[in-house]
């Protein structure tokens, strides 16, 4: 029995008479919802005595479901329980527990007195803040059929797909904006999309009309191959029926159709036989086709009228469109030859019909928006791209797919035609469809089409009972992959969002479930069993392992050098996306797709043309008043299948889809290896991580992060926290503790990688981003008086620093708020350098204090976009650039002991360069067309050369890493910086100008390659180390300018702790007087030495600016009696990495491992180093190892022997024998 909520009474005749509703029905986000149904579900939960559910609108336009209860039940647990029982759109945003319900004087529930809940922003709604965001949010909502869209809502989480993404772009074009469908996929939210779209500026550009000859595309050539003498393809078409707005007439229709014909060249296409079995295609001028000759009027639309319209198509004469108008029903049937149209094109034409209708009804000239890239231009690009090496190399993969045997008999061309085919149309319920559009793809990080296709293959596997045999399926895609095909030599990007034509791609896929439905019983599939998740993930990875489907057609039909023969699969699948959003077409004043005419279109498709498949599914999501419904239209060859078989297959598909939804409702889903690329983990490794905690993402490490992870491993055993960065702010004034904590958490939620766990047990180290990023927070109230306060604060700070150094198990960012006295606090932010750089900290502080003040921030730039950019760099070109810049450099410039692994205590000294000298530095930089940074680098290089006696010196510098190619890089939070070498070579005659030119030239040559890992540069040069000093010019904003603001709260002081591991590093900062902050290792330098060193540096600056034209060798800034650096700096021998010896070259020196532990260590060494064998006396590092491979080796040894060694152990015991001896004395965990 189901409670409908209808209120009825018995009539005198004994029949039920409807008199109204027993409860309120509301509409939220496009769904009609019965509040009583939710209330009944809430009442059924344990501990609930009374319950009521209402729709609140506490913010204008933001209607939310809220549940209220009395009893002992926990509100949070109740909401979770409801999420397991109800569709997501029926789950209350909040549940509030009350002691009792407020009542009116009449004893009825007083809804107005129910308190507003403290929303936890579960829906993450944020209203548009700018006019551009308002426009885009409106477009999102219109396309997706929603009442509102927040600027941070994901387009795809809301039900968007690739086709609706194109709809967003062309509506943006109509609003005067320019963008590309890929922008939707990359940016996904309104806030981020608003940062990349631009106002259109096409007034002066030349329109791409696409006139003249057209190169036949792969899908067009495929169609030609279907033509037989018995079944010509002149009538091969797509047909839609449109409902006209009230008042439309035949004359109006003719005007609108003429506008379509004149704007879209492919609707005028002439398609003739070229005499050699192919096409001769031409697009004539805009006025070549008269719409009046294409339009016929009938009293009522009928199958006969559509069949007649189909017969009037004549591609050779340029008649690609045949229209039928029924004035009595206000319906317009458009029959268009398939050569000129596809599923996306219908949406474009419908949009243009409505634009033309508004203009025409307003007595304005009908001027449709320009198209972007013409079909003609696109066809040319495809014919060129077919020979691209990236395409050609995919041929072998496609050959393997095309060898999969057919699962059904092929259709008989003479018997199985569209005229004799069987047809079946079925609809899926709205609730399941809604999940398939949003929750399911989100849970599996997949597209809607991928989920539908996987379920389709599951159904066929069950039907055929093929066991472990793969299922071959012929898949159609929309084919508008703008970014796959290079845009050619012109300056314009490819933009197909408003281009009408047949862009469809057709390509084979093969899915193998490894046994009867992946080892599952069909009942387990239908029930959404936990094991179903692994099957779906594996199938998803199989699909993503295939090349882009576009390349199949290019190789088979356009590249004459590649032989890609073979039969296409006999099972076809095509998902057409989503049609007819109710919010877009609810008004009677616009043209819209006619659901009533949907059943008539089959007549136009009943053609004597041979079927391409034994069975084919065309699926589409159709929006209705009751919600979205997935429609499945099946077409089959009678010689291969009958209606009973197809009906069963259709039911199996719907059952598989329902089972996948049930699996997601139970918490199923998760990442697969393709989701985390370019990071590389297996599915088993991902599942292991997810078993520890829910994982949102996995990223590879940046070059500097790899080095920092190595140093963290070295420092772990010594307890050193040199890379634990700490900012200590002294706050004065009234402070809301919870408000500040929420602001911190909001900032962390915006940048979840701040809470990453760093794992080095895999082949390549990775950072794992938790699904629920939470920064550890400590609130401490001190009760100590006097001098003991600072000591206690330092003790707290030390504990915070130690905590962020546990990179594997704890977040590398944490916050402590220390109450010192009334209205006096210390706000301590601690992070390991591996997650934040100096540029990011001011941005993060501004966000925290903005959040504290209640300011809504724009969407954050995702750190993943920077990682993706890194992975796309041309590493060969980068290595070549660094190899050239460092060619011939053979003596490392070291000021500390070469073999020093442990860090000594750090000390800091600060200096200022007088204003006069600072001004002179700026003047010198300007006069030589360079920067102050380059001048300072030249001075440091000159000092190093003088101190070490070397004419060829190198030192490190830190680059921002914030390339303008990365969207939002300037406001991104994370570690983007990198350390790279600076080289200076001195000659006796060199002047300051020559030095600065040399440095600037080297900088220019490596500017695009500053992302390269320092360890890679070491390998390029053949050196283990190049330098151990760093000079950094920091010209980004500092924390001092940030203020929390509001209610008298202010920063009255701050201190920061930020060290390098090098023996000496200098940080220079701009100002009236140049600021110098020197960090040094007290085991290497004392304060007196640093004082002398910086005095010399000051002299270098003075001499360089005072005498820029003199030879550097003649400058007097170091008296001969002054000591140089330590003896190791004067006599540093090159530490050249030796090539790894092969076993054959080692001769008698090879000593095999004798014990089991030695065998294990030796085998791990060999595997990590990529050699056949390693002797027990051979050093890991002499055999080619470096810091990164050392982490891999230690991770493998720890896993194999169940121990916990650090990287430092490998440095101290590098040979197989010495490390084995260490292991024999190390107890297993």
Which tens digits make up the pLDDT trace of 1167-1198? 888 788 888 888 887 777 776 677 778 877 87
Higher pLDDT, 1017 or 586: 1017
Which tens digits make up the pLDDT trace of 963-997? 888 888 888 999 999 999 999 999 999 999 999 99
Answer yes or no: is 867 within a domain.
no
Residue 317 pLDDT: 96
Residue 208 pLDDT: 83
Q: What percent of the chain has pLDDT over 70?
A: 87
E strands, 611-770, are 615-624, 627-636, 695-700, 724-732, 757-759, 766-770
**Closest Cα partner for 1045 from 715, 599, 736, 738?**
736
CATH number for the domain that contains residue 342: 3.30.559.10
**Closest Cα partner for 635 from 422, 476, 460, 472?**
422
Pairing of strands 237-243, 331-337: antiparallel
Q: What percent of the chain has pLDDT over 90?
A: 53
Task: Kindly tell me if the per-residue pLDDT of 254 is higher than 70.
Answer: yes
- Token look-up 């062309």 returns 170
- Token look-up 């504990």 returns 799
3-state secondary structure of 887: coil
Q: For residue 976, how far is the Cα from the chain centroid?
A: 17
**Judgement on whether residues 73 and 219 belong to the same structural domain of the protein:** no
Residue 120 pLDDT: 46
Residues 6+ apart with CB under 8 A from 627: 30, 31, 430, 431, 433, 434
Residue 1042 pLDDT: 56
For residue 106, name the pLDDT band (cuts at 50, 70, 90).
confident
Instruction: Kindly report which listed range (1-5, 931-935, 1168-1172) carries the lowest average pLDDT score.
Output: 1-5
**End-to-end Cα spacing for the chain:** 59
Cα-based distances in Å from 377 to 162, 264, 865? 22, 14, 31
d(CA 630, CA 437): 10
Instruction: Identify the top-confidence range among 123-137, 516-530, 660-674, 781-795.
Output: 660-674
d(CA 778, CA 773): 16
Domain boundary among 119, 151, 174: 119
Domain count along the chain: 7
Name the token pair of 125: 């709604």
Higher pLDDT, 746 or 1195: 746
To the nearest whole number, what is the mean pLDDT of the chain? 85
Kindly state the average pLDDT of the residues 1152-1173.
Answer: 82
**Judgement on whether residues 651 and 709 belong to the same structural domain of the protein:** no
Kindly state the average pLDDT of the residues 539-567.
Answer: 94
Answer yes or no: is 1120 within a domain.
no
Q: What is the number of H-type helices and E-type strands within the chain?
A: 41, 37
Angle between helices 1216-1224 and 1187-1201 (to 10 degrees): 40
**Judgement on whether residues 819 and 933 belong to the same structural domain of the protein:** no
Length of the chain: 1229
Domain boundary among 856, 882, 904: 856
For residue 178, name the pLDDT band (cuts at 50, 70, 90).
confident
Kindly state the average pLDDT of the residues 128-141.
Answer: 89
Answer yes or no: is 575 within a domain.
yes
d(CA 780, CA 799): 13
Which tens digits make up the pLDDT trace of 1109-1122? 889 888 766 444 34
Kindly state the average pLDDT of the residues 688-712.
Answer: 91
**Closest Cα partner for 898 from 1084, 637, 1159?**
1084
d(CA 41, CA 367): 54
Kindly state the average pLDDT of the residues 256-278.
Answer: 95
d(CA 1024, CA 835): 26
Which tens digits make up the pLDDT trace of 494-527? 889 889 999 999 999 999 987 655 678 999 999 9
Task: Kindly tell me if the per-residue pLDDT of 750 is higher than 60.
Answer: yes
Q: Are 672 and 534 in contact (CB under 8 A)?
A: no
Residue 1039 pLDDT: 44
E strands, 607-732, are 615-624, 627-636, 695-700, 724-732
Residue 1125 pLDDT: 52
CATH number for the domain that contains residue 1206: 1.10.1200.10
Q: What is the DSSP letter of 893?
A: B
Instruction: Give the CB-side neighbour count of residue 858, counting CA atoms within 13 A.
Output: 17
Residue 508 has φ and ψ, to the nearest 5°, of -90, 145
Answer yes or no: is 864 within a domain.
no
Find the DSSP H helices in 34-106: 35-43, 75-85
Q: What is the pTM of this model?
A: 0.76
3-state secondary structure 1047-1084: CCCEEEEEEEECCCCCCEEEEEECCCCEEEEEEEECCC
**Judgement on whether residues 275 and 329 belong to the same structural domain of the protein:** yes
Task: Kindly tell me if the per-residue pLDDT of 746 is higher than 80.
Answer: yes
Answer yes or no: is 1134 within a domain.
no
**Judgement on whether residues 362 and 385 belong to the same structural domain of the protein:** no
- Token look-up 């576009």 returns 550
Q: Are 635 and 614 in contact (CB under 8 A)?
A: no
Helical (H) or strand (E) element with 333: strand 331-337
Q: For residue 366, how far is the Cα from the chain centroid?
A: 40
Residue 586 pLDDT: 46
Higher pLDDT, 425 or 1136: 425
Name the token pair of 220: 């067009």
Residue 1139 pLDDT: 35
Q: Are 490 and 483 in contact (CB under 8 A)?
A: no
For residue 856, name the pLDDT band (cuts at 50, 70, 90).
confident
Which tens digits make up the pLDDT trace of 60-84? 555 778 999 999 888 877 887 887 6
Name the token pair of 1094: 């910086």
Residue 118 pLDDT: 67
For residue 206, name the pLDDT band (cuts at 50, 70, 90).
low
Q: Residue 660 burial by CB count (10 A; 0-12/13-18/19+): exposed, middle or buried? A: buried
**Judgement on whether residues 318 and 418 belong to the same structural domain of the protein:** no
**Judgement on whether residues 428 and 487 belong to the same structural domain of the protein:** yes
Answer yes or no: is 607 within a domain.
yes
Which tens digits make up the pLDDT trace of 304-357? 999 999 999 999 999 999 999 999 999 999 999 999 999 899 989 998 998 888
CATH number for the domain that contains residue 494: 3.30.559.30
Q: For residue 665, how far is the Cα from the chain centroid?
A: 24
Q: Which residues, in sequence order, are bridge partners of residue 109?
A: 103
Name the token pair of 954: 């190198």
Give yes or no for a cis peptide into 678 (omega within 30° of 0). yes
**Judgement on whether residues 913 and 1006 belong to the same structural domain of the protein:** yes
Name the token pair of 905: 């205590």
Instruction: Identify the top-confidence range among 25-39, 503-517, 891-905.
Output: 503-517
CATH number for the domain that contains residue 75: 3.30.300.30
**Judgement on whether residues 563 and 582 belong to the same structural domain of the protein:** yes
Task: Kindly tell me if the per-residue pLDDT of 639 is higher than 70.
Answer: yes
Task: Kindly tell me if the per-residue pLDDT of 594 is higher than 90.
Answer: no
Residue 218 pLDDT: 97
Residues 6+ apart with CB under 8 A from 847: 746, 747, 750, 857, 973
Answer yes or no: is 1044 within a domain.
no
d(CA 619, CA 613): 15
Residue 3 pLDDT: 43
**Judgement on whether residues 175 and 71 belong to the same structural domain of the protein:** no
**Judgement on whether residues 154 and 244 belong to the same structural domain of the protein:** no
- Domain residues for the domain of 310 are 212-374
Answer yes or no: is 699 within a domain.
yes
**Judgement on whether residues 95 and 128 belong to the same structural domain of the protein:** no
């Amino acid at each position: 029995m189901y409670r409908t909520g209808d209120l009825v009474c018995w009539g005198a005749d004994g029949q039920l008479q409807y008199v109204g509703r027993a409860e309120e029905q509301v509409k939220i986000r496009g769904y009609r919802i019965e509040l009583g149904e939710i209330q009944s579900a809430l009442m059924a939960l344990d501990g609930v005595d009374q319950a009521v559910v209402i729709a609140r609108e506490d913010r204008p336009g933001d209607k939310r479901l809220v549940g209220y209860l009395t009893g002992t039940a926990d509100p949070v647990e109740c909401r979770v329980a409801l999420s397991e029982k109800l569709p997501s759109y029926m789950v209350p945003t909040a549940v509030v527990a009350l002691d009792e319900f407020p009542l009116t004087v009449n004893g009825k529930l007083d809804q107005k007195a129910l308190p507003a809940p403290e929303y936890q922003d579960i829906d993450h709604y944020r209203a548009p803040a700018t006019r551009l965001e308002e426009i885009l949010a409106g477009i999102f909502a219109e396309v997706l059929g929603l009442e509102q869209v927040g600027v941070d809502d994901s387009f795809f989480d809301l039900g968007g797909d690739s086709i609706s993404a194109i709809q967003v772009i062309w509506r943006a074009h109509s609003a005067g904006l320019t963008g590309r469908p890929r922008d939707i996929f990359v940016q996904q939210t309104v806030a981020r999309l608003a940062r990349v779209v631009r106002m259109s500026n096409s007034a002066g550009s030349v329109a791409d009309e696409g006139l003249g000859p057209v190169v036949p595309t792969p899908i067009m050539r495929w169609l030609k191959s279907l033509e037989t003498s018995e079944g010509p393809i002149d009538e091969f078409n797509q047909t839609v029926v449109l409902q006209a707005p009230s008042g439309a007439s035949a004359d109006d229709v003719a005007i609108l159709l003429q506008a379509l014909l004149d704007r879209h060249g492919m609707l005028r296409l002439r398609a003739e036989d070229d005499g050699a079995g192919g096409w001769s295609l031409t697009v004539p001028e805009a006025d070549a086709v008269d719409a009046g000759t294409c339009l016929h009027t009938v009293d009522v639309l009928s199958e006969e009228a559509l069949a007649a319209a189909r017969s009037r198509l004549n591609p050779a004469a340029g008649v690609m469109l045949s229209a039928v108008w029924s004035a009595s029903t206000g319906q317009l049937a458009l029959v268009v030859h398939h050569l000129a149209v596809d599923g996306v094109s219908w949406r474009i034409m419908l949009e243009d019909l409505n634009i033309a209708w508004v203009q025409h009804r307003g007595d304005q000239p009908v001027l449709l928006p320009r198209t972007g890239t013409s079909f003609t231009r696109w066809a040319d690009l495809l014919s060129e791209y077919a020979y691209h090496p990236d395409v050609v190399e995919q041929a072998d993969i496609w050959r393997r797919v095309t060898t999969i045997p057919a699962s059904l008999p092929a259709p008989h061309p003479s018997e199985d035609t569209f005229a004799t085919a069987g047809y079946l149309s079925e609809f899926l319920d709205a609730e399941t469809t809604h999940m398939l559009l949003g929750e399911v793809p989100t849970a599996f990080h997949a597209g809607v089409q991928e989920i539908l296709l996987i379920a389709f293959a599951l159904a066929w596997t069950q039907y055929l009972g093929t066991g472990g045999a793969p299922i071959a399926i012929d898949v159609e895609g929309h084919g508008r992959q703008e970014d796959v095909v290079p845009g050619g030599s012109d300056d314009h990007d490819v933009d197909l969002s408003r281009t009408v034509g047949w862009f469809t791609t057709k390509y084979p896929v093969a899915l193998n479930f490894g046994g009867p439905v992946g080892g599952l019983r069909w009942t387990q599939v239908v029930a959404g069993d936990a094991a179903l998740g692994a099957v779906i993930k594996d199938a998803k990875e199989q699909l993503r392992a295939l090349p882009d489907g576009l390349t199949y057609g290019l190789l088979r039909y356009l590249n004459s050098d590649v032989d890609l023969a073979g039969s296409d699969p006999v099972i076809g699948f095509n998902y057409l996306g989503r049609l007819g959003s109710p919010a877009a077409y609810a008004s009677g004043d616009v043209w819209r797709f006619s659901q009533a005419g949907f059943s008539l279109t089959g007549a136009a498709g009943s053609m004597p043309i041979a079927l391409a498949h034994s069975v084919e599914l065309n699926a589409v999501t159709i929006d209705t008043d009751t919600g979205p419904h997935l429609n499945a239209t099946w077409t089959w060859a009678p010689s291969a299948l009958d209606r009973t078989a197809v009906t069963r297959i259709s039911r199996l598909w719907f059952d598989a889809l329902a089972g996948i939804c049930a699996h997601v409702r139970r918490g199923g889903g998760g990442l697969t290896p393709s989701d985390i690329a370019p990071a590389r983990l297996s599915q088993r490794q991902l599942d292991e991580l997810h078993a520890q905690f829910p994982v949102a993402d996995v990223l590879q490490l940046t070059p500097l992060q790899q080095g920092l992870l190595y140093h963290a491993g070295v420092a772990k055993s010594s307890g050193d926290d040199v890379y634990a960065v700490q900012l200590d702010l002294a706050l004065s004034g009234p402070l809301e503790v919870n408000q500040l904590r929420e602001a911190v958490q909001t900032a962390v939620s915006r940048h979840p990688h701040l809470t990453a766990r760093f794992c080095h047990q895999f082949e390549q180290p990775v950072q794992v981003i938790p699904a629920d990023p939470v920064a550890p927070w400590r609130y401490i109230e001190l009760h100590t008086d006097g001098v003991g306060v600072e000591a206690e604060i330092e003790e707290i700070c030390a504990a915070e620093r130690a905590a962020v150094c546990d990179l594997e198990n704890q977040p590398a960012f944490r916050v402590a708020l220390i109450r010192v006295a009334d209205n006096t606090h210390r706000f301590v932010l601690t992070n390991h350098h591996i997650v934040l750089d100096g540029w990011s900290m001011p941005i993060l502080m501004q966000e925290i204090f903005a959040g504290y003040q209640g300011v809504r921030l724009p969407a954050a730039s995702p750190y993943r976009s920077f990682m993706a950019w890194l992975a796309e760099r041309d590493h060969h070109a980068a290595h070549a650039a660094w190899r050239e810049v460092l060619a011939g450099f053979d003596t490392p410039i070291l000021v500390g002991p070469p073999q020093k692994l442990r860090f000594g205590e750090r000390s800091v000294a600060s200096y200022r360069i007088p204003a006069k000298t600072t001004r002179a530095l700026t003047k010198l930089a300007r006069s030589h067309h360079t920067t102050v940074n380059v001048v300072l680098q030249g001075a440091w290089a000159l000092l190093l050369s003088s101190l070490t006696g070397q004419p060829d010196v190198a030192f490190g510098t830190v680059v921002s890493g914030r390339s303008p190619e990365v969207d939002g890089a300037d406001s991104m939070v994370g570690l983007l910086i990198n350390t790279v070498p600076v080289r200076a070579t001195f000659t006796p005659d060199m002047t300051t100008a020559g030095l600065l030119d040399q440095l600037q030239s080297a900088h220019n040559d490596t500017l695009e390659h500053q992302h390269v890992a320092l360890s890679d540069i070491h390998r390029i040069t053949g050196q283990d180390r190049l330098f151990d000093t760093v000079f950094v010019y920091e010209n980004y904003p500092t924390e001092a300018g940030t203020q929390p603001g509001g209610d008298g709260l202010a920063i009255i002081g701050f201190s920061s702790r930020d060290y390098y591991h090098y023996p000496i590093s200098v940080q220079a900062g701009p100002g009236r007087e140049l600021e110098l902050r020197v960090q040094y290792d007290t085991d290497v330098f004392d304060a007196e030495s640093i004082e002398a060193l910086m005095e010399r540096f000051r002299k270098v600056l003075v001499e360089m600016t005072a005498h820029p034209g003199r030879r550097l060798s003649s400058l007097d800034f170091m008296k001969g009696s002054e000591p140089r650096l330590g003896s190791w700096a004067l006599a540093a021998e090159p530490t050249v990495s030796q090539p790894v010896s092969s076993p054959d070259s080692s001769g008698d020196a090879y000593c095999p491992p004798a014990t089991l532990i030695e065998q294990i260590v030796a085998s791990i060494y060999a595997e990590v180093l990529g050699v056949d064998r390693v002797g027990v006396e051979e050093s890991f590092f002499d055999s080619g190892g470096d810091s990164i491979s050392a982490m891999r080796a230690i991770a493998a040894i720890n896993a194999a022997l169940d121990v916990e060694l650090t990287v430092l152990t490998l440095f101290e015991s590098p040979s197989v024998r010495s490390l084995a001896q260490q292991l024999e004395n190390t107890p297993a965990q």
